[in-house]
Chains A and B, each alone.
Chain A
Amino acid sequence: MNIVVDLNRCQAYAQCAFLAPEVFELHGEEALLYVPAVPEDQQERVHRAAVACPVQAILVGGAAGADVR
C-alpha cells in the first residue's frame, strides 16, 4: 500500500500525525513528512488518517504500475 499527500492541500491540521505517528510527522510548524510505502502494520492507522484528514489530502492506493509486465 502506498500513499501520497497533496501538500498543496495540506494545512497542517495534523490529524494524521496523531492517528499514525510512525507514518506522518510534522517537521517544524507545518511541513508534513510521511512514509510513502506504508508498512503492513500501519495500514489500518493510515486508512483512519486518510478518512480523518479535514482537507482530504491523503490518497491511499495499491502501488501504481503493479501490473507492469
Chain B
Amino acid sequence: MSGELRDGRIVVVGASLAGLRAAETLRDEGFEGSLTLVGDEPHPPYDRPPLSKQVLLGRVPATGTGLPARRPVDAQWKLGVAATGVDGIGKRVFLANGEEVPYDRLLIATGTRARPWPNPAEAALDGVFALRTSDDAAGLAERLDAGPRRVLVIGAGFTGSEIASACRERDIPVTVVERGPAPLVGALGGTLAAVAAEMHRRHGVDLRCGVQVTSLEGDGRLTGARLSDGSTVEADVAVVALGAVRNTEWLAESGLAAGPRGVTCDAGCRAFNMYGIVTDDVFVAGDVARFPHPLFGYQLIALEHWGNAVAQAEVAAHNMVSAGPFRRPHLAVPTFWSSQFGHNIKSVGVPTYSDQVVVAQGSLREARLVVVYGYKGRITAAVSVNRAKWLDYYQNLIETAAPFPPEPGAADRTAPMIPLPSDVPDPAVLSHGPTVALTGHLPDRRLTLVRPGG
C-alpha cells in the first residue's frame, strides 16, 4: 500500500454488516488514517437474519443479535443519525443533525429498508408491522408473545414465509396473502415455489395466492383486511413483507449513479457518477450496490444477501487502500439461505438467471432435494432443500460454466433428467421482492441491429 492510501480520512455511511466488515478490513490492510462510521439506527452493528427466526420464536431477545467484531476498528461512530447528502466536489457528507463530515474516500453501505404499506393511514394502525430492524422485531415479537388471534402476512417472499413459519410453530393462526402464484416464486421459480406452497399448507398456513390485500381495516387498532377477491380476513396483527427499498434517496443530489435500483458500481466496487464515469474516491458495498457479474452475462445485479454484504465489503475496503493494478474484482458466487417450516433452503448462483431447471437429487414429494438451474445450456444456480452438503459441488459447476443439464455423477439416479421451464415470473406481478434484482437485460432479450442490404 502506498503511503498516500494508508493515511487520510475514510467515511463509511451505513453501520450494519457491510459497513462493519469494511471498516475491519480497512484496518486489517493497514489503513492508519481516521475512520468514521455513520448509521441511522441507534444500535451498534447487529445481525438481521435471526430477527425473523430466533427472535420471533421467542428464543432470543430482539436486542440480542449483536455482531461479533473481527478486530478493533478504532473508529469514530456516529449512530442514530442519518446521512442526508454528499458533496462530491467539496468531499463531505451531510448528516441529519446539521454536521458535515469531510472525507478523502467514501464507502456507501446504506443497504435497504422494508417497503412500506402504500397507505400511510392504514400503515399507522396499531398492529401493523414491517420487519427489517431490531426495533421492528422487538415490537412484533411482543405482539406474538401476547397471543394474537390471527396474524396476516402480506407477501410470501423469504421474510414473509419465515414470519409465517415462526407463527405456526408458536401455534398462532396465520393467513399469508401473495399476489403472485406461489410463495418464493420470485426468487426460486415455479418448481420450488410449488414445494414452498405445500410446506405452508402442511403447516396449517391459510395461504392465499393470486390475490392482494386492497385495504387494512380498523379504527386506531387493526381489525382485519379486505382482499381483491372480495373476501376479508380478521386479524389483529399484520406484517407487511413486500420486499425492500434501496436507501439511495440521500444521494439524489450527489451526482452519483444512484436510484431505486441501487448505486451502480464497477466490479471493483467503485461508484459510477451520473454520466457513467467511474469515480476514484467513492465505493459501494452490500444491498445498496448494483454491480456487473461476469457469471451472469455482466448484467448489473443487486443482491440482498448476507454473504454478499460481507464479501463485497471486503473487496471494497481492499480497493479503497490499494493502487490501480492491486485492486481486486468482486466475483463471489451469490449464496443465501432461509430456514422455514423446519426446512433449510440454500442457494448458490442466481436462480432467476435461468430458463430451465432439473431436479438433480431427491424429489419434490419428500421436500428433500437439489434443483439445478440452467440458462442457455449452462448451469447458473442450484438450490437445496435439506441437502446443503451438495451445494459446494454445484458451486464448482457454476464457476466453471458447466453444461446444463448436469452430467451423470451429479445425480442420484440413472434415469435421464428432464429439464422443465424454470418459470420465473416478471417481478412486477409479485407482492414479495425477488431478493436478487437482475437490473440489466437477459442476453436473449437484447435488440438486434438489422443491417439493410446484408
Residues of A within 8 A of B (CB): 1-4, 6-8, 10-12, 27-37, 59-69
Contacts and interface: CB of A to CB of B under 8 A. Distances in A.
A35 B64 contact: yes
Nearest to A26: B344
Contacts of B75: 67
B45 A6 contact: no
Dominant SS among interface residues on chain A: loop
Contact of A36 (B66, B306, B339, B386): B66
B113 to A, nearest CB: 20
B60 interface: yes
Residue among A4, A11, A34 with most chain B CB within 10 A? A4
Contacts of A60: 68
Contacts of A37: 60, 64-66
Nearest first, the 8 A-B pairs at minimum CB distance are A65-B44, A61-B68, A28-B342, A31-B339, A2-B68, A31-B344, A64-B69, A8-B335
B436 interface: no
B337 A8 contact: yes
A37 B231 CA distance: 44
B68 A29 contact: no
Nearest to A6: B307
A64 B21 CA distance: 10
Given A35-B59, A37-B64, A65-B77, A7 B49 contact: yes
Contact of A63 (B68, B77, B306): B68
A68 B344 contact: no
B342 A8 contact: no
Contact of A8 (B65, B76, B306): B306
Contacts of B342: 27-29, 31
Interface in B189-205: none
Contacts of A31: 339, 342-344
B141 to A, nearest CB: 15
Nearest to A2: B68
Given A11-B388, A30-B388, A35-B60, A66 B69 contact: yes
